[in-house]
Structure 1
Amino acid sequence: MAILIKGGRVIDPARNLDGRQDILIEGEKITTLAANLEAPAGARVIDAGGMIVTPGLIDMHVHLREPGYEQKETIASGTRAAAAGGFTAVACMANTNPVADSASVIYFIKEKARQEGVVRVYPVGALSKGLEGKEIAEIGDLAAAGAVAISDDGRPVMNALVMRHALEYAKMFNLPVISHCEDEALANDGLMHEGLVATILGLRGIPAAAEEVMVARDLILAELTGGRLHLAHVSTAGSVRLLKEARARGVRVTAEATPHHLCLTDMLVESYDTSTKVNPPLRPAGDVAAVAAALAAGDIDVIASDHAPHADEDKDVEYDYAPFGMVGLETAVPLVVTELILPGKLTWQQAIKSWTANPARILNIPGGSLVPGGVADVTIIDPDMEKEVDVNEFYSRGHNSPLQGRKLKGWPVLTIVGGRVVMENGKIIEE
């Protein structure tokens, strides 16, 4: 069935497009963008008046947990969470069981996504065998199987020589190396950001330097090798400064920030809610402002959720013993709209670029633009819709969100993947 999206504000940063347009979708492709299009016979007409219409949003950093940790999330549940959040594609990290360090696991994820997923799934292969940081994985095999990047995310690569080799080998296949920047010795089994709040709460702190030392090291290695480095979940003002300096020198580096590091501070930990326990930790307001300013300036390229679901029983423990991570797919857009776009810290164009054109470019995947003849992946956002976050309504198996009960504005209301509506008004549309 053809679909005509009428009267929306179409924002496509890849084409420098921001204005009222109609979009005609036929089959799996976009066929026409123009004003005042007429609907073909039998087409579904979607009134997008007052709505923001964008290329399908891409989240380049999620944890789908399958294979091995299906009690936390599955490819089926995680992709439905993505669609509910307005995302048409996700890149999933390699810390599964077995680890995605072989072609067979990459093939499994892709096939499982084909059978049970509702959005596009792009696997990220492991940087090192078993995520042990000792020997690089078979990067060529991972690339041939369909991995779009390599990363040991969740664990830092402490051995600088291993990281150097990974950057060199990944360069041969034009794959980005996604770095989890953390010095384990400096982190010292900390639980939250090292600072005033940690002192008041009596919780072991993780200093900003634990991130910044590794950011500096990996930028130096990227400059040495000419490899493509992507910094995951940048969270400190010091990391931003190092990133800017490296960009000025021409280092091949891109970076992402999460909605929670862009919008939330370590003050939330005062509740001892284990959903606030993330790695890197929530930072003070100064760091949050610096990261948001770097995103607005284009020094940080991407907003990525780092969606990290856990079973309820895993998080329902003392703060010391809870695993790191919070869910983010279903709240990413309204959190950014509420905390960054509406207050004027970020424009719609900047936010959408960080969810579309930039991740598509970094991962070299389809989408990211509403171009005639291109894939019909489209997201529609109602900028005026306001509702409370209810984790019990999440499609994700993980409920570990500190946003429970919070009113947010600017929710996705329609997700189209390959010309098929997969989410409408918050409900997944099953075939």
Structure 2
Amino acid sequence: MSQTLLKNGRRVVTGQLAASDVLIEDGKIAAVGTNLSANDDATVYDLDNNLITPGLVDIHVHLREPGYTNKETIATGSRAAAHGGFTTIAAMANLKPTCDTPERFHAQEARNVKDGAVKIIQYSPVTKGRAGQKPVDVAAQYAAGARLFSDDGAGIQDASVVYQAMQQLAKYDLPICDHAQDNQLANGGVINDGSVAKKMGLPGMPKISETAQIARNIVIAQATGAHYHVCHVSTKESIELIRHAKQLGINVTCEVTPHHLLLADADIPDDDAEYKMNPPLRSREDQEACLAGLLDGTIDCIATDHAPHTDAEKHRGFLASPNGIVGSETAFALLYTRYVKNGIFTLVELIDWLSGAPKRVFKLEDAGQLAVGDPADIAVFDIDHQTTIKPDQFFSKGHNTPFVGDRVYGASVKTFVDGKLVYDREDTE
């Protein structure tokens, strides 16, 4: 029997920080408490009063392999996740080729297992080739092991295709995770349609391009009984629609990104594509609505939409640069610093939105929750000392973030997956 003992940590107990040890046996949590002991040959880590949490769960990342390994690989992206305290991540299917057949799906899962530093759940695309024209064979993909479906990076424009896909997915109680965007209404916008876009002379993306697609898909979800999950919700009107749909009993869930909680278009300093993402940073009112929706339960969880690109790509300005920023390595610290330390929401809430909530929403049996018998998926954070966000310390290939130089609390110290140490800050110091 292999044992690991985590000593002298703290965890949240009934809303308060309390001293805690964790005993791990053969990759499972064997005990959680104080003054725990282990075998003489156990590996012991002194956590130095740092915070112990369940391993975080990120339901929305882009690992870029195969097809775009100049931006990221499974190895670098999963190590970035471990660096941020994430022990389970779900990888989107915008790959080349995408895993739209059982054979390709099996091959992708094999790559994930071979190179992944953390647990990786692979998305299947909703449509063949992610072209939005014909649904994949859901039954075959399900038999191959697919449990999450998304064409993320592109909204499915044809309502009949969404209807057919939801009909199939409902039979297996599988979610469709939707990048809600009507391309005709988006009108080629690269930034939120508003005063900042006008000031910068850039084409704006109206909020209705997101909201209209969500409205359409909510109605289809109601008709089919499918689980409709909205990726990276960003507008006040979208959140109001989802709130109303939930009140009607429609099976709708949604996520919000850290950047839509932390920034608005008014924070964009100039034509700097480190602030370019899709959906774009919206108005301050929308940012506040995202926070309110999270606090009242309309928004179910937080997901990073970790989207790495090369430095060269992101230095071309809003018109020519790709959408997206990295988020795996900064999410917990940024949100803890801005919102928990300022009393806007609690540490209990933040931990749940980043671990328990995605586990519940997507029925993720393999993600641990610090309970005896659970997988020993554990994160340890330093919430007492400030650090500076420095992209040259990232494990991701992508350095594209607007948060460079931010001073934060909550840096990751150690991360364990099934009891195995997969990130240790001591190794980087």
Tell me which residue corresponds to 2:412. 412
Offset at 1:17?
9.5
Aligned length: 427
- Assess if the C-alpha contact under 8 Å between 1:375 and 1:418 holds in 2: yes
| Contact map agreement 2:368 2:374 (CA 8 A) in 1 | no
Shift in Å, 1:50: 3.4
Indicate if the aligned counterparts of 1:358 and 1:368 stay in contact, CA closer than 8 A.
Answer: no
Partner of 2:386: 386
SS in 1 for 2:60: strand
| 1:100 and 2:130 matched | no
Q: Does 1:39 align with 2:38?
A: yes
Instruction: Measure, in 2, the Cα distance between the counterparts of 1:317 and 1:357.
Output: 39
- Deviation at residue 418 of structure 1 after TM alignment: 0.9
Is contact 1:12-1:55 (8 Å) kept? no
Q: Secondary structure at the match of 1:340?
A: helix
Aligned pairs for 1:241-280 within 5 A: 241-280=240-279
C-alpha distance in 2 between matches for 1:410 and 1:219: 37
Deviations 1:395-424 (A, max 9, x none): 111111111122122111110001111111
In structure 2, C-alpha distance between the alignment counterparts of 1:175 and 1:19, rounded to whole Å: 38
Residue 333 (1) aligns with residue 332 (2): yes
- Structure 1 equivalent of residue 395 of structure 2: 395
Instruction: Specify the alignment match of 1:115 in structure 2.
Output: 114
The answer to whether the 8 Å contact 1:12/1:353 transfers is: no
Q: Cα offset for 1:12? A: 8.1
Q: Normalising by structure 1, what TM-score?
A: 0.95
Going from structure 1 to structure 2, the CA distance change for 1:351 and 1:344 (only over 3 Å counts) comes to: same
Task: Kindly provide the amino acid, as one letter, of the partner of residue 280 in structure 1.
Answer: P
Say if 1:269 and 1:277, in contact at 8 Å, map to a contact too.
Answer: no
Cα deviation, residue 156, structure 1: 0.2
2:411 is matched by which residue type in structure 1?
Answer: W
* Superimposed CA distance per residue, residues 91-140 of structure 1 (whole angstroms, 9 cap, x where no aligned partner): 00011000121122222222112222110111000000111111101112
Q: By how many angstroms is 1:34 displaced?
A: 2.4
Native 8 Å contact 1:197 1:270 kept in 2: no
CA distance in 2: counterparts of 1:49 and 1:70, whole angstroms = 38
- Residues 106/191 of structure 1: CA separation in 2 closer, same or farther (3 Å cut): same
Q: Is the 8 A contact 1:380 1:414 kept in 2?
A: yes
Q: Provide the residue aligned with 2:291 in structure 1.
A: 292
Partner of 1:202: 201
Deviation at 1:19, TM superposition (A): 4.2
Report the CA distance between 1:18 and its aligned residue. 6.8
Mapped to 1, the partners of 2:67 and 2:389 lie a distance apart of 29
Conservation of the 8 A alpha-carbon contact between 1:264 and 1:282: yes
Which segment is superposed worse, 281-290 or 263-272?
Answer: 263-272
Structure 1 residue 363: deviation in Å? 2.5
Distance, in Å, in 2 between the alignment partners of 1:428 and 1:65 is 25
Cα distance in 2 for partners of 1:226, 1:19 equals 43
Contact 1:80 1:428 (8 Å CA) reproduced: no
SS in 2 for 1:270: coil
Q: Report the CA distance between 1:338 and its aligned residue.
A: 1.5
CA–CA distance in structure 1, aligned partners of residues 159 and 17 of structure 2: 44
Which amino acid is the alignment partner of residue 276 of structure 1?
Y
Unaligned 5+ runs, structure 2: none
Does the C-alpha gap of structure 1 residues 426 and 338 become closer, same or farther in structure 2, counting only changes over 3 Å? farther
In 1, Cα distance between equivalents of 2:377 and 2:232? 25
Alpha-carbon distance in 1 for matches of 2:223, 2:319: 39
Q: For residues 168 and 416 of structure 1, do their structure 2 counterparts lie closer, same or farther at Cα, with a shift above 3 Å needed?
A: same
Change (3 A) 1:20 1:293: farther
Matches of 1:12 and 1:276 in 2, distance apart?
A: 37
The answer as to whether partners of 1:122 and 1:146 remain within 8 angstroms in 2 is: no
State the superposition RMSD in angstroms: 1.8
> 2:368 touches 2:375 (CA, 8 Å); kept in 1?
no
Equivalent in the alignment of 1:153:
152
| TM-aligned CA distance change 1:426 to 1:361, over 3 Å | farther
Matches of 1:207 and 1:189, distance apart in 2: 10
Q: Distance in 1 between matches of 2:37 and 2:113?
A: 34
The yes-or-no answer on 1:2 pairing with 2:3 is yes
1:15-94 superposed matches below 5 A: 19-94=18-93
Q: CA deviation at 1:273?
A: 1.4
User: Identity across aligned pairs (percent)?
Assistant: 38
Deviations 1:154-183 (A, max 9, x none): 000111111111111112222111011111
So what's the TM-score if we normalise by structure 2?
0.95
1:288-327 matched pairs, under 5 angstroms = 288-327=287-326
